[in-house]
């Protein structure tokens, strides 16, 4: 069965980055259609930290205060080793209207963004995957598959996604914000290079027996990076980097208690109720190109990094903002598609810095021996990017190589 749809920009992926891209385009008067192969938004409350720059962009569309009312402000990050608090980062020293991090569950962020999109009269089409694309000069034609879960097999039932409908969508541009396994990236044929070793983390979200300090705390042990996030009230999240061979059948509460006592002996709050736990792998990846012609990538479809700095999703939001500016100029004022070259240049330059491909930070006279010995571990751990990252690194006595790229003006 076939259907057809015509729009100006087709967005693949309805996570935070895809939703924000669609909103930013609609705000600029560009018609949007958004598809996602999942059946609904995220239901699990994975904690995200919104960077100050992300809050500033969300404020432009009137959503920052709403999210602040639903999240937890964090103004400082403490770095630990063993029992010792070695250094601190203070977001209150940053310029701007939002000198703090905002910890907010991912499902909360997605629902707030989704509600704004509905206010703009745009509905997300779930269970649909952009499968193939052909370019025709001034536009492209996409084949979109509708996926339904069908139970197969006997005597054991297995749920499998099957194609039940094909939609033909016509658009001027396609934005791929469809995550790690991006079909848009596959269509483009761009390599997604693995940079370094894969990190395995044991992650648990739980309620404590007392309310902890509203501060992010990062434990840099030899061979592991561990991070504590306050979520709301007594609810917190810990992530412990582990050896992949260290996967344990030990009960979750015993395992969590063991990691806390060994790696964070200063953390006096005890778990009362564990909401969920998991082992998850995190990779450092970067696409060879962010796009070409009329197809472009954003967020996890183009890059991945450490979960500690929460950089992939936050920089992805800024990518969505900047790309929306360029696409609106092209669609509404007939600017040249060649102007998208500035987006490619800027994105590659920034991610080379964030992933350490441009070199380690320079150690300044003001740094401490503890920081100097771990100079290559801080960039991926700090929840910030751009100028804010530079200023926070300066608090540690570190300096990154300068970015060299053209800016994109709103």
Q: Helix 52-60 vs helix 386-395: angle between axes, to the nearest 10 degrees?
A: 150
Contact 383, 49 (CB under 8 A): yes
Q: What is the pLDDT of residue 42?
A: 62
Q: What is the pLDDT of residue 4?
A: 66
Q: What is the pLDDT of residue 30?
A: 98
The angle formed by the CA atoms of residues 28, 108 and 309, to the nearest 5 degrees, is 85
Q: What is the largest CA-CA distance in the chain?
A: 69
Architecture of the 2-75+98-194+285-348 domain: 3-Layer(bba) Sandwich (3.50)
Strand partners of residue 48:
104
Residue ranges of the chain with per-residue pLDDT less than 70 = 1-4, 41-45, 47, 149-161, 247-248, 403-410
Q: What is the pLDDT of residue 1?
A: 42
- CB-count burial class (<10 Å; 0-12, 13-18, 19+) for 155: exposed
Q: What is the pLDDT of residue 43?
A: 55
Same fold? 2-75+98-194+285-348, 199-282: no
Residue-range domain boundaries for the chain: 2-75+98-194+285-348, 199-282
> Which SS3 state, helix, strand or coil, does residue 243 take?
coil
Q: What is the rounded CA–CA span in Å between residue 92 and residue 90? A: 5
Q: Which of 350, 344, 347, 346 is nearest to 384 (CA)?
A: 350
Q: What is the pLDDT of residue 405?
A: 42
Alpha helices in 120-264 (DSSP H): 183-188, 252-263
CATH of the domain spanning 199-282, picked from 3.30.9.10, 3.40.50.150, 3.90.930.12, 3.30.930.10:
3.30.9.10
């Amino acid at each position: 069965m076939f259907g057809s749809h015509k729009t100006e920009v087709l967005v693949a992926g309805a996570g935070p980055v895809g939703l924000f891209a669609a909103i930013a385009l609609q705000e600029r008067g560009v018609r949007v259609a958004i598809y996602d192969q999942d059946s609904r938004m995220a239901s699990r409350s994975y904690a995200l930290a919104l960077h100050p720059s992300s809050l500033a962009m969300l404020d432009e569309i009137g959503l920052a205060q709403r999210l602040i009312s639903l999240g937890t402000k964090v103004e400082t990050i403490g770095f630990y080793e063993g029992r010792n608090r070695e250094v601190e980062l203070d977001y209150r020293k940053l310029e701007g209207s939002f000198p703090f991090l905002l910890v907010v569950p991912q499902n909360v962020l997605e629902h707030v963004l989704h509600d704004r999109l509905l206010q703009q009269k745009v509905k997300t089409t779930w269970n649909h995957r952009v499968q193939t694309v052909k370019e025709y000069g001034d536009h492209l034609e996409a084949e979109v598959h509708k996926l339904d879960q069908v139970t197969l097999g006997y005597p054991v039932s297995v749920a499998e996604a099957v194609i039940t409908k094909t939609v033909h969508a016509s658009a001027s541009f396609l934005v791929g914000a469809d995550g790690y396994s991006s079909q848009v990236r596959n269509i483009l044929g761009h390599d997604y290079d693995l940079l370094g070793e894969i990190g395995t983390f044991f992650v648990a979200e739980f309620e404590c027996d007392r309310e902890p300090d509203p501060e992010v705390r990062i434990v840099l042990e030899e061979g592991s990076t561990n991070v504590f996030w306050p979520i709301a009230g007594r609810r917190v999240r810990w992530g412990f980097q582990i050896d992949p061979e260290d996967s344990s059948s030990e009960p979750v509460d015993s395992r969590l208690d063991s990691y806390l006592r060994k790696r964070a002996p200063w953390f006096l709050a005890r778990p009362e109720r564990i909401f969920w736990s998991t082992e998850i792998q995190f990779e450092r990846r970067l696409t060879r190109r962010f796009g070409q012609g009329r197809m472009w990538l954003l967020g996890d479809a183009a890059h991945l990094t450490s979960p500690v700095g929460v950089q992939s999703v936050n920089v992805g939001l800024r990518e969505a903002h900047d790309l929306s500016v360029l696409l609106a100029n092209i669609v509404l004022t007939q600017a040249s598609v060649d102007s998208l070259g500035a987006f490619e240049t800027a994105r590659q330059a920034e991610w080379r810095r964030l992933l350490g491909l441009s070199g380690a930070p320079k150690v300044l006279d003001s740094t401490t021996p503890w920081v100097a010995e771990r100079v290559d571990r801080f960039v991926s751990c700090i929840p910030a990017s751009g100028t804010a990252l530079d200023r926070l690194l300066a608090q540690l006595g570190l300096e990154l190589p300068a970015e060299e790229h053209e800016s994109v003006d709103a």
